[in-house]
Structure 1
């Protein structure tokens, strides 16, 4: 089973999904459970789903 960071998988996400796909390759190559969100965050926000920052506060897409 792949390693995790602090017991949780690493989630790679960006606005469009392109950069997160590239950055997920490095942890995966080191056997760290890295999950890419291929569609990115923009469709999630457009659908009205919550976008929050690491502190649980309302996030925004730049």
Structure 2
């Protein structure tokens, strides 16, 4: 009986540890999702203004 209780305690601890990991990962996913949404909105705004674009190589930005 003691061996079963020890194994059960070990399994409970493992489940709690995994639950903590999953909770941290979900928080990180939520944070990254918000950042991606902000970047998408920022890029959509740039495209709407016509100021979007990527500077390639030695190309000078338009304000020069």
Counting helix residues as a fraction of each chain, which structure ranks higher? 2
User: Could you say which structure has the greater relative contact order, defined with CA pairs below 8 angstroms and 6 or more residues apart?
Assistant: 1
TM-score of the alignment, normalized to the shorter chain, above 0.5: no
Counting strand residues as a fraction of each chain, which structure ranks higher? 1
* TM class by smaller structure: under 0.3
Q: What TM-score, normalized by structure 1, do the two folds share? A: 0.25
Q: What TM-score, normalized by structure 2, do the two folds share? A: 0.24
In our comparison, the structure showing a higher alpha carbon Rg is 2
